[in-house]
Amino acid sequence: MSLPASADVVVVGSGVTGAATAAAVAARGATVVLLDKEDGPAREASGRAQGSLRVQGRHGAELRLAEEALRLWTEAAADGDFELVTGGNLYLLTRPEELARLRALVAEAHRAGLTGVELLDADATREVMPSATGPLLGAMCSPGDAHCHPRKGTELYARRARAAGAHPAYGVKAVRLLAAGARITGVDTTEGSIRAGAVVVAAGIWTPHLARTVGLSVPIMPVVMSELETEPAEPLFAQSIRAFGFGAVQRPNGKLIVSAGLNARVAHGVSLADLHGLRYWLPRALAFRRNLRLSVDLARIAHQVRTRSTLSPEHVPHVSPEPPCDRPLVDSALARLASVVPALRGVAVSRYWGGVVDMTPDGLPIIDGGAGPSGLTLVTGLCGHGFTLGPVLGEIAADLATEGRTARDIEEFRLARFAEGPVPQPEMTI
Ligand SMILES: Cc1cc2nc3c(=O)[nH]c(=O)nc-3n(C[C@H](O)[C@H](O)[C@H](O)COP(=O)(O)OP(=O)(O)OC[C@H]3O[C@@H](n4cnc5c(N)ncnc54)[C@H](O)[C@@H]3O)c2cc1C
C-alpha cells in the first residue's frame, strides 16, 4: 500500500463518520487520506447497525443535528441506492408505564422545533401501521424519519470521497498521532508516516487508544449490542420501530432486522482499560446492573499485562472479530414484535450478529476540535445511535479540520465536560 507522504487532512476510520468526513473535506478542495485498518469501509459499527435513521427520541442537543443529517441522507440518495426508505419512525407504546417517558421525549422534540413529532393513540397508530393488530396502546411518531442499508450507506460516502479526490488507504492502521509543540503534524501508520496539518480521529471504540498517544483521555466504554435478521416476509411496515423490548426495520427485500430496542441489555468484557474511567463507569454500571452483562476479558487483560499498558494502539486489532450475539435477547425481541404484528409469528431467523457501540458516561457524543493539539478533531462516543448522524458529523469534522471552527452548536459535546465535574447519567442504556 503506497501512502502519500503528506495531505492537508488525514481521517482515521472509514465508518460512516470518517467516510462522510473525507467526502466533505475532499469536496472543499483539500487533499485527504482516509485510513482504515480493515480491508474496506463499514467493517465495524457502521456495517453492523440496524440502519434506522431516526430523528425523534434523542437528547435535545442532538435533535437539530439529526434533522440536518436526515436531510443530507435524503439528498445522498440521488448519488446511489442504499435502500433508503422514508417511512417514519414509531416508538410503540405497549405498557401504560412507558407513557411518561414518551411524553417527555415529545416535549423535548417540540422544544427543539420538531413539531412533526406527536403521540398517537392505538387507533391512529394502526392507521399508519395496519399490520400492528396485536395489543398496543399508541405510539410516538416522527413521520419524516427513515431507514437504510447501513453498509451501503457508508460505502456511498466512501465512493463520494474517492470521486472528489480523497485517497483511501485500507488495511492501514494508525499507530500514533504526531504532534510538535501544540500542533498536530501527522499520523504514524503501519505503512509509514503521513504529514498533515489536520487529523480527524473517527475510530469508533478504538479512539481512546489513539488519543492517548497525544495525552488525551477519552472515556469510552465498548458494549455489545445484538441484532437478528429474518427470512423475507410480506411487506408489513415501512417505519423503523422502537419500543421497550424490541426494535425493527423491514428492508425492501422483505427481511426484518430486529434488535432489543430501548434500554436493551448490552454486554461488556471487563479489562484493565476500565480503570481509566472507573469514576464514571462504576456508578453507571451499578445503576444499569440489570441491563449490563459483564464478563472478564482474560485475553485482553493478558495482552495488557504483556504490553505493560492499558490503552495503546498496539491493542487495536487489524481485523476486529464480530462479537457474539445475545441470541435469547433478540429472539425474545422478535417474539414481542410478533405479538404486536401477528403476521410475523413463525418467521424464520436467517442470521444473528453483534456489534460494538462506543458509550460515553452521559450518553452524548464527543465532537471536539479543541481538545488536544490544534488541528486534531475527535468524533466518537456515538452511543448506539450515531449512524443517523454520519453525514452531519462529516460536515462538522470537515469544518473543524479545514477552518478550525463550525457554525453548528457542538458546545455540549466537548471532551472537557468530563473533567469539569460529574455529568448527568442517561436514563437508559441505549
Ligand atoms: C448492533 C448495532 C446497531 C446499531 N443500530 C443503529 C441504528 O439503527 N441507527 C443509528 O443511528 N445507529 C446505530 N448504531 C450505531 C452506529 O452504528 C454507530 O454510531 C456508527 O456507525 C459509528 O460510526 P463511526 O464511523 O463513528 O464508527 P465505526 O463504524 O465503528 O468506524 C470506526 C472505524 O475506524 C477504524 N479504526 C479504528 N481504529 C483505527 C486505527 N488505529 N487505524 C485505522 N483505522 C481504525 C475501524 O476499523 C472502523 O472501520 C448501531 C450500532 C450497533 C453496533
Q: What is the pLDDT of residues 48-89, one digit of tens each?
A: 999 999 999 999 999 999 999 999 999 999 999 999 999 999
What does the DSSP assignment read for 372-415? SSBTEEEEE--TT--TTTHHHHHHHHHHHHHHS--SS--GGG-G
Q: Which amino acid is at 205?
A: I
In a domain, 195, yes or no: yes
Residue 424 lies in a domain: no
Say how many Å lie between the CA of residue 31 and the centre of ligand 1: 24
Taking the C-alpha atoms of residue 164 and residue 69, their distance in angstroms, rounded to an integer, is 20
Q: Which atom of ligand 1 is nearest to the CA of 382?
A: 19
Atom number, ligand 1, closest to the C-alpha of residue 225: 1
Bridge-partner residues for 257, per DSSP? 229, 249
Name the residue with the closest Cα to ligand 1, atom 21.
Answer: 46
CA 298 from chain center: how many Å?
27
CB 369 near ligand 1, within 6 Å: no
> Is residue 186 predicted with pLDDT exceeding 70?
yes
Residue 262 placed within a domain = yes
Is 428 domain-assigned?
A: no
Q: Is 112 helix (H, G, I), strand (E, B) or coil?
A: coil
Q: Which amino acid is at 60?
A: G
Ligand 1: residue of 10, 11, 37, 360 to mutate (most ligand atoms within 8 A of CB) is 37
Confirm whether 144 is domain-assigned.
yes
pLDDT at 281: 87
Per DSSP, what are the bridge partners of residue 138? Answer: 93, 121
Q: State the average pLDDT over residues 333-341.
A: 98
Tell me the CA–centroid distance for residue 407 and ligand 1, in Å: 25
Residue 76 inside a domain? The answer is: yes
Q: What is the mean pLDDT of residues 104-132?
A: 95
The count of structural domains within the chain is: 1
Closest listed residue to residue 153, CA positions, set 81, 70, 100 = 81
Q: What is the pLDDT of residue 85?
A: 98
Identify the pLDDT of residue 237.
98
| Model confidence pLDDT, tens digit, residues 21-49 | 999 999 999 999 999 999 999 999 999 99
Average pLDDT of the chain, as a whole number: 96
pLDDT of residue 285: 86
**Does residue 1 have a pLDDT over 70?**
no
Residue 13 pLDDT > 70, yes or no?
Answer: yes
Is 225 near ligand 1, meaning CB less than 6 Å away?
yes
For residue 418, give the amino acid letter: F
CB 22 within 8 A of CB 166: yes
Q: How much distance in Å is there from the Cα of 88 to the middle of ligand 1?
A: 23
User: Cα(10) to centroid of ligand 1, in Å?
Assistant: 18
Q: Which residues have C-beta within 8 Å of that of residue 72, sequence separation ≥ 6? A: 391, 392, 395
CB atoms within 10 A of CB 135: 10
Q: Is the CB of 174 under 6 A from ligand 1?
A: yes
pLDDT at 74: 98
Q: What is the CATH number of the domain that holds 400?
A: 3.50.50.60
The residues near 326 (Cβ < 8 Å, ≥ 6 apart) are 224, 226, 260, 265, 267, 293, 354
Mutate to test the pocket of ligand 1, among 387, 393, 429 (most ligand atoms within 8 A of CB): 387
How many angstroms does the Cα of residue 15 sit away from the middle of ligand 1?
Answer: 5
**Which residues form the domain of 343?**
6-419
| Å from CA of 350 to ligand 1 middle | 23
Q: What is the pTM of this model?
A: 0.97
Nearest by Cα to 228 from 338, 317, 133: 338
Closest of 55, 4, 3, 5 to residue 391, by C-alpha: 55
Grid cell locating 27:
469536496
d(CA 168, CA 36): 8
State in Å, rounded, how far the first CA of the chain is from the last one: 38
Residue-level pLDDT at 48? 98
H or E element in which residue 225 lies: strand 221-230
Question: Is 227 close to ligand 1, i.e. is its CB under 6 Å away?
Answer: yes
Is residue 153 within 6 Å of ligand 1 at its C-beta? no
Domain membership of residue 316 (yes or no) is yes
Pocket lining: 207 vs ligand 1, CB cutoff 6 Å:
no
The grid coordinates of residue 323 equal: 462479537
**For the segment 292-316, what is each residue's pLDDT rounded down to a tens digit?**
999 999 999 999 999 999 999 989 9
- The string of pLDDT tens digits covering residues 376-395 is 999 999 999 999 999 999 99
CA distance 217 to 211: 7
The answer as to whether 430 is a domain residue is: no
Q: Which of 35, 36, 175 to mutate to test the pocket of ligand 1 (most atoms within 8 A of CB)?
A: 36
